[in-house]
Structure 1
Amino acid sequence: MTCDDGPWHSHRMSNDVAYPVFRTPDPTLALRTARRLMEFGRCEHAEVSAYAELSSVADVRRVARAIPLGRFCGTYELDEFQEVPFEDQPALVGGVPASGLPTEEAAFEGRLPVEWEVWHLPVGSIEADFTAAIGPNVGLINWPSLQWPDAPEAGLHGESKHAEVTLLFNTHTRELDEPTDDHTVLVHVRSAVSDGRQRREPYAHWLAAQVGLTVIGPAQRC
């Protein structure tokens, strides 16, 4: 069992749907492309969050050095913390900051993969460092709170509640359950299903086209 899901798995009164618009084995190119799309919808409320599943102690320490923010939480069983005083819980069970990571390797036995996440940071504060540090691990960068503009020439209204961009590292899916060797950029719009079809899919195509991209795969729900 691992830490609670991050904000990208939150339950909302309405739902978003995400479309892949770019894929590459080059993480730097993936970040540059995701930023270009994010900047198209960037507004004063824009922010960034990130998440990773780190498969080795070396990976954990590398991310901690690169980004001394957020929390690290190891895999655990429920009986390791239920009715156990906080001070008596094993290291990594409740989540620790980078400064609280165990120094001894033995503390990580049975705790891998370790989840790491940061929420609600200023745009531009962590993205490059995270991209350089994630290595072969599965993870993501998410830019929520964007503002997609109207597209009157296409008869499409803008939106903000579900205006997001996500960069998936080493996976093709929002659930992070299919490891790959490349990285995928997703554009998010509001989900509006009618007769089994996504009525807002044309808007995703329009958004992608505004920055020279195109939808390259089916919609992803979360």
Structure 2
Amino acid sequence: MSNDVAFPVFRTPDPVLALSTARRLMEFGRCDYSRVSAYADFHSVAEVRRVAQIMPGGWFCGASELEEFEGVPFKDQPPFVVGVSAADLPVEASAFEGRLPVEWQVTGQPVGSIEDAFSAAIGPNMGEINWDSLQWPEAPEAGFAGESKHAEVTLAFNTRTRYTNELADDHTVLVHVRSVRVDGRQRREPYAHWLAAQVGLTVIGPAQEN
């Protein structure tokens, strides 16, 4: 059992520049089986409907409280809470009462298939693009073997963390490596610095744990 740790390596208010920079880092580790996923939170019905028109793929899940469905079989829970496609979103505005923010996600897509549309659609909402199943090369001069299980790149929109829990007016690119913590220190942090440097970037903030 192992976890990853992410380090911010670039930040900008320009979403186009953020995407191109994230792609540059991703391409450094891209391989045949690499995939891309995306996630976003929408805090208004208008934003949900707007993005559903632009990004009809993926699933929309309305917010819920654990107590609402405690003991309720999964099959009996409201579809909008379990997850629906854009075509199956509720028509009535009243169906969104108590269900905001609405989460949207799409997972395991071919690299290059959703990134441009998503970055154009995200607007002021918090969200992320994540590329996984990358392959970081070994860095013998720095004393590090290669990495595949925890080789990822994340582009966080309108937030500075991988947790999408604090709004910001810029976008952040993060590089992921395997977490190896010894005596309170991340032993793989130098590897993150090395990876960033290979594409002209540098670590600009503290580690963000999984």
Question: Structure 2-normalised TM-score?
Answer: 0.94
SS of the aligned residue for 2:46 comes to helix
Once the two structures are superposed, what CA deviation does each residue of 1:100-148 show, in whole Å capped at 9, x if it has no partner? 0112222212211100011111111111111111111111111010000
RMSD value over aligned CA atoms? 1.6
Q: Which runs of 5+ in 1 are unaligned?
A: 1-12
Report if the CA contact (8 A) 1:41-1:149 is conserved: yes
SS of the aligned residue for 1:93 comes to helix
Q: CA deviation at 1:195?
A: 2.3
SS of the aligned residue for 1:35 comes to helix
Mapped pair 1:210 → 2:170: no
Q: Which runs of 5+ in 2 are unaligned?
A: none
> d(CA) in 2 for partners of 1:57 and 1:162?
35
Matches within 5 A, 1:139-158: 139-158=127-146
Q: CA deviation at 1:85?
A: 8.0
> d(CA) in 2 for partners of 1:192 and 1:79?
37
Residue 8 of structure 1 corresponds to none
In structure 1, what residue type is equivalent to 2:119?
A: T
In structure 2, what residue type is equivalent to 1:55?
A: H
Residue 3 of structure 2 corresponds to 15
> d(CA) in 2 for partners of 1:190 and 1:142?
16
In structure 2, what residue type is equivalent to 1:83?
A: V
SS of the aligned residue for 1:181 comes to coil
Once the two structures are superposed, what CA deviation does each residue of 1:42-84 show, in whole Å capped at 9, x if it has no partner? 0011001111111111211122122211110111234544537
Mapped pair 1:186 → 2:174: yes
Mapped pair 1:26 → 2:14: yes
Kindly tell me the number of residue pairs found equivalent between the two proteins: 209
Residue 72 of structure 2 corresponds to 83
Residue 160 of structure 1 corresponds to 148
Once the two structures are superposed, what CA deviation does each residue of 1:142-162 show, in whole Å capped at 9, x if it has no partner? 101000001223222111010
Q: CA deviation at 1:86?
A: 4.2
SS of the aligned residue for 1:142 comes to strand
Residue 91 of structure 2 corresponds to 103
In structure 2, what residue type is equivalent to 1:112?
A: L
1:62 is aligned, of 50, 68, 84, to: 50
SS of the aligned residue for 1:128 comes to helix
In structure 1, what residue type is equivalent to 2:48?
A: V
Report if the CA contact (8 A) 1:20-1:218 is conserved: yes
SS of the aligned residue for 1:173 comes to coil
Residue 47 of structure 1 corresponds to 35
Mapped pair 1:130 → 2:103: no
> d(CA) in 1 for partners of 2:171 and 2:135?
24
SS of the aligned residue for 1:153 comes to helix
| Percent identity between the two aligned chains | 72
Report if the CA contact (8 A) 1:48-1:143 is conserved: yes
Residue 219 of structure 1 corresponds to 207
